[in-house]
Amino acid sequence: MIEDADRVAAVAAAVEDARYRRVIPCLDVTDGRVVKGIEFVNLRDAGDPVELAAFYNQEGADELVFLDITATTDSRSTMVDLVARTADRVFIPLTVGGGVRSVADMRELLIAGADKVSINTAAIANPELIDAGVETFGQQCIVIAIDARREPERGGWGVYTHGGRRAAGLDAVKWAVEAARRGAGEILLTSMDRDGTKDGYDLALLEAVAAAVPTPVIASGGAGTLDHLVDGLAPGRADAVLAASIFHFGEYRIIDAKHHLAARGIPMRMDQQ
């Protein structure tokens, strides 16, 4: 019908790309418990990642990341159970990382209800693991986490493993390019220099990687204020900001962060607020 076509054309001309940037709280988990529990929230059990995930969802988090910081074989079944219980209650995307070493590990977490898996050390040891994950589950499922530290002698950043203690002998930007070439859907980029400092993200690192890969980049490490989130999401930097302590310790609420970002012209999904 002509009227249908006209109506669709009129809406099509007016609808805009939202270009939303994402705010992603990260929960560090060990033995099924949140490492740094929130004290301020009136949760039944502030150490329960499921409770916290549900709370963050309510607060407008765009996605959630669970990071298993012990990542032992024993903790795997605990994590799988945790992911399943979260997926039962929280209907926003969930990324799970920490100790993912094989396609079988990925499958277990994805079937339990994770939407994406984050791979770090295992991909450095065996880059084909990225291809295998992409081939099996699609690139949207595969996040490559890169822990980077400034190496002046390199004239850039090196890749580190084991919580930033061990140098992998790779250039961070080159490794990001290789991960993207192998099909990684996103790069979760943590500055080990800034992690825990609250001095803000390493913006030069974000710019270097964002300019080198066509893949979305998630900024991590160093967020201490809401303006740091604004800086990380400026054009040419990250597509999403990950933060842990500024939310966990109750300094800021996610809802406040999103209002702050939106007020500075960064497109935010405000559906729930």
Partner 1 sequence: MSGRVAVIDYGAGNLRSMCRALTTIGVDPVVTTSPATVAMACAVVLPGVGAAGASMTRMKELGLTAALRTAIAEGTPFLGVCLGMQLLFGHQDEGNVEGLGVLPGRVRRLSPGVKIPQIGWNRVRLVEAGPLGHAGDDHDAYFVHSFIAEGVDPADIAGLTRYGEVFPSIVMRESVWGVQFHPEKSGDWGLELLRTWGALIHARHAAPVAAASA
Active site residues: 28, 147
Burial status of residue 69 (CB atoms within 10 A of its CB: 0-12, 13-18, 19 or more)? middle
Closer by beta carbon to partner 1, 20 or else 252: 20
Residues 6+ apart with CB under 8 A from 246: 198, 223, 224, 225, 226, 252, 257
Q: Is 269 in the site for partner 1 (CB under 8 A)?
A: yes
Rounded Cα distance, 79 and 31, in Å: 8
Q: Is 87 in the site for partner 1 (CB under 8 A)?
A: yes
Closer by beta carbon to partner 1, 216 or else 224: 216
Rounded Cα distance, 76 and 138, in Å: 23
Listed ranges 109-117, 152-160, 199-207, 219-227: which one lies at the site for partner 1 (CB under 8 A): 109-117
Write the interaction track for partner 1 spanning residues 182-221; mark x where CB under 8 A is met and - where it is not: ---xx---------------------------xxx-----
262, 239 contact by CB (below 8 A): no
- How many H helices and E strands in the chain? 11, 11
Q: Is 93 in the site for partner 1 (CB under 8 A)?
A: yes
Of the candidate residues 72, 136, 197, 273, the single one contacting partner 1 (CB under 8 A):
136
Write the interaction track for partner 1 spanning residues 110-129; mark x where CB under 8 A is met and - where it is not: xxxxxx--------------
Look at residue 188 and give its three-state secondary structure. Answer: strand
Min dist CB 191 to partner 1, Å, is 22
DSSP-assigned beta bridge partners for residue 220: 190
Min dist CB 196 to partner 1, Å, is 27
Closer by beta carbon to partner 1, 57 or else 191: 57
Considering only residues 141 through 180, tell me which ones interact with partner 1, judged by CB under 8 A.
none
Write the interaction track for partner 1 spanning residues 238-257; mark x where CB under 8 A is met and - where it is not: -xx-----------------
Q: Which two tokens stand for residue 24?
A: 């992603």
Rounded Cα distance, 187 and 57, in Å: 22
Q: Which two tokens stand for residue 193?
A: 């220099």
Nearest of 233, 159, 127, 149 to residue 193 by alpha carbon: 149
Residues that bind partner 1 (CB under 8 A): 1, 4-5, 7-9, 11-12, 14-18, 20, 22, 57, 62, 84, 87-89, 91-93, 107, 110-115, 136-140, 185-186, 214-216, 239-240, 269, 271-272
